[in-house]
Amino acid sequence: MSGAAHRACLLLLFLLLSLPGTLALPSVPDYLQRGWQRLLEEGEGCTTCRPEDCPAPRGCLAGLVRDACDCCWECANLEGQICDLDNTNHFYGRCGDHLECRLDAGDLRRGEVPEPQCTCLSAQALCGSDGKTYAQICRFQEAARAQPQANLSVAHEGPCEAEPQILSPPYDIWNVTGQDVIFGCEVFAYPMASIEWRKDGAEMLLPGDDPHISVQFRGGPQKYEVTAWLQIQAVRVTDEGTYRCFARNKVGQAMALASLTVLTPDQLNMTGLLLPNPRPGPEDYVDSEEPEDYY
C-alpha cells in the first residue's frame, strides 16, 4: 500500500469512529485521536517551509522538536506519552530532551501488545535548588519549565536530605472479632527512615511480645521509599484503639495515625453491614526478576 493510500485509510477510519452515536463502533484511545488529528491538520505532504509563519509553541515541559516537515518547532512528548518508535515525528510525536522512545518490556511479559513510550534515559535522582528531590533529570526539567520564574537548578546528584514524608498513611479500619486486619504506612525519606508502630495508651513498641501482632518492612515501592505493615491476626475487642506510624531519620520525623474499630458478630448483624475487603499487605507485592536497590 502506498503512503498516500495508507494515510487515506487512517483518515477514513478516524472519521468513521468520530461519528456521533449512529454507529456501534469501539471508542478511540486519546493517543490515536491525537495521531489522526495530526494527519488531518498536516494533509498529504509538506509545503515550502516558511519559518515566519510558524506558530510559537508554549508550555513545552519536555522541550522543543521539529515538526514532521522539519520546519516549525513544536512541543516534544513528555515521559510516558506515546511516541514514534522510528523517531520520525509523523504520527504520535517525538520525545523531548533526555527522553528516548522505547517499547515497554513489561507489556510483553504480561502478554499485552507493547506501546512505544517516551522513557527517561537517566534513573539518577536529583536534588533541586528548591530542596525537593526529583526522580530523574526529566522530572526536574518538567518542573523547571513549568515554573521558569523560580530559576530552578540542580543542587547535586542524588536525593536531598530531608525529614521523612508519609506518602500513604494508614487508614481507619473496622472489622469483626476473629478477622485479620492490616495497617500500611509508605514513607519517602533520605537518609533512610526507621519506622515504628505504637498503640495509644501502650508504652511499648509493637509488636512487643504479643504473638497475634506482627510488623513487616520492605523497600519500595519506589526509589528511596520504605513501606511498613502492622498486621493483627484474629482481631479482638481489646485491639480496638488508635495506632500510630512514626518515621524517623537524622533530619526529622513524621507521624500518621489511624483507628481500629472492632465489632462482635452480634453487633455486625444489628448493623446489616458486610465485612470489609482485606487491605493489601506484604504478600501482595509482586517480586521483580532482579532485586531492587532502593537506597
Full domain range(s) for residue 229: 163-274
What residues pair up with 127 in beta bridges, in sequence order? Answer: 133, 156
Question: Is 213 in contact with 235 (CB distance < 8 Å)?
Answer: no
What residues pair up with 166 in beta bridges, in sequence order? Answer: 187
Asked if residue 197 is part of any domain, the answer here is yes
The verdict on 154 and 167 lying in the same domain is no
Gap between the terminal Cα atoms of the chain: 52
What residues pair up with 120 in beta bridges, in sequence order? Answer: 99
Determine the distance from the C-alpha atom of residue 247 to the mean position of all C-alpha atoms in its chain, rounded to a whole number.
22
The verdict on 155 and 167 lying in the same domain is no
| CA–CA dist 228, 185 (Å, integer) | 5
Mean pLDDT of 61-90: 88
More confident of the two residues 78 and 86: 78
16-73 per-position pLDDT tens digit: 444 444 434 334 445 455 554 555 555 557 889 999 999 999 999 999 999 888 899 9
Percent share of the chain, pLDDT over 90: 60
Question: Is 196 in contact with 166 (CB distance < 8 Å)?
Answer: no
The verdict on 134 and 116 lying in the same domain is no
Does the pLDDT at position 275 exceed 90?
no
197-215 per-position pLDDT tens digit: 999 988 889 998 899 999 9
Asked if residue 36 is part of any domain, the answer here is yes
Q: Which pLDDT belongs to residue 259?
A: 97
Count how many domains the chain has.
Answer: 3
